């Protein structure tokens, strides 16, 4: 990569980090937990795909379940490997602590969602956008929510002739309700990823999500699989 392109990429990375880092400072009441995430994508052909996802979320390192999330869906590419629309379903089991006690209550949620994802390249920096609209059946309540996700992938090696398996992964996702108390939450993630092949990559990083008056931290281990 030329010195000019390298400087341009570095400036983009610096700008993105500068925009993301303030969100970490806004968090209150930090509670460190752990999320184990599997995201799989099965290509049926050049247009159609099946999405599968499992998230096992813990209040601590492991063993204290916060949430089990299962998602699946059918997607269609509007262009070659890009501009994907998807119709999906999710089941979520949440185990929430009651006030400041050690007692927990289980909450079941069934979710239908529609989403649109698109990708861009700015030099060697990859950008991904996801717009998702959810219809949530939480026990006896019905809720709707809009989510916007911005992901950034920055390669850490700059060799034109070789692949760049090691990269920095950053993302920000905001959640907005359709009813009163519009702001639901915001998530910010920063970590390191490694691409083993076209079909497998892993990420390890730190995620912070904050609400109006509180925040929470997680260590995330994420596996992305295409098959």
Q: Any idea of the CA torsion for 9, 10, 13, 17, to the nearest 10 degrees?
A: -170
pLDDT at res. 13: 47
155-164, 195-204, 216-225: range with lowest mean pLDDT: 155-164
In the numeric block, the tokens 């185990």 are attached to 95
> Which among 165, 221, 182, 174 is positioned nearest to 34, based on CA atoms?
221
Does residue 16 carry a pLDDT above 60?
A: no
pLDDT band per the 50, 70, 90 thresholds, residue 83: very high
pLDDT at res. 111: 98
**% of the chain with per-residue pLDDT over 70:** 84
In the numeric block, the tokens 């219809």 are attached to 135
Helix extents (H) in the chain: 3-25
- List pLDDT tens digits, range 143-198: 999 999 999 999 997 666 567 799 999 999 999 999 888 999 999 999 999 999 98
The total number of residues shown for the chain amounts to 227
Please state the φ and ψ torsions of residue 14, each to the nearest 5 degrees.
Answer: -60, -40
- Kindly report the pTM of this predicted structure: 0.83
Pair of tokens at residue 161: 């002739």
Residues 145 and 138 sit within 8 Å (Cβ to Cβ): no
SS3 17: helix
pLDDT band per the 50, 70, 90 thresholds, residue 7: low
Looking from the CA of 140 toward its CB, the CA atoms found within 13 Å total 0
Does residue 101 carry a pLDDT above 60?
A: yes
pLDDT at res. 158: 65
**% of the chain with per-residue pLDDT over 90:** 62
Question: What is the spatial distance between Cα 163 and Cα 122, in angstroms, rounded to a whole number?
Answer: 17
Residues 182 and 200 sit within 8 Å (Cβ to Cβ): no
Total Cβ atoms within 10 A of residue 66: 22
Q: Regarding predicted confidence, which is higher, 101 or 172?
A: 172
Residues 204 and 192 sit within 8 Å (Cβ to Cβ): yes
In the numeric block, the tokens 């850490």 are attached to 156
Does residue 116 carry a pLDDT above 60?
A: yes
Q: What is the mean pLDDT of the chain?
A: 85
Residues 49 and 77 sit within 8 Å (Cβ to Cβ): yes
């Amino acid at each position: 990569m030329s010195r000019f392109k390298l400087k341009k990429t570095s400036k983009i990375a610096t700008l993105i980090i500068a925009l993301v880092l303030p969100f970490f400072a806004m968090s209150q009441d930090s509670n460190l937990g752990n999320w184990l995430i599997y995201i799989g994508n099965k290509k049926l052909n050049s247009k159609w795909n099946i999405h599968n996802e499992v998230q096992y979320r813990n209040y601590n390192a492991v063993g204290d379940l916060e949430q089990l999330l299962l998602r699946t869906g059918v997607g269609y590419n509007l262009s070659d490997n890009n501009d994907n629309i998807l119709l999906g379903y999710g089941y979520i089991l949440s185990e929430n602590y009651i006030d400041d006690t050690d007692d927990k209550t289980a909450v079941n949620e069934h979710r239908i969602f529609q989403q649109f994802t698109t990708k861009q390249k700015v030099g060697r920096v990859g950008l991904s956008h996801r717009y998702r609209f959810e219809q949530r059946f939480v026990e006896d309540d019905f809720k709707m929510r809009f989510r916007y996700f911005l992901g950034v992938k920055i390669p850490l090696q700059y060799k034109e002739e070789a692949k760049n398996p090691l990269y920095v992964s950053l993302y920000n996702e905001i959640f907005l309700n359709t009813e009163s108390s519009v702001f639901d939450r915001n998530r910010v993630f920063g970590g390191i990823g490694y691409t083993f092949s076209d079909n497998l990559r892993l990420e390890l990083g730190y995620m912070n999500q904050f609400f109006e008056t509180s925040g929470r931290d997680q260590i995330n281990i994420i596996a992305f699989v295409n098959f």
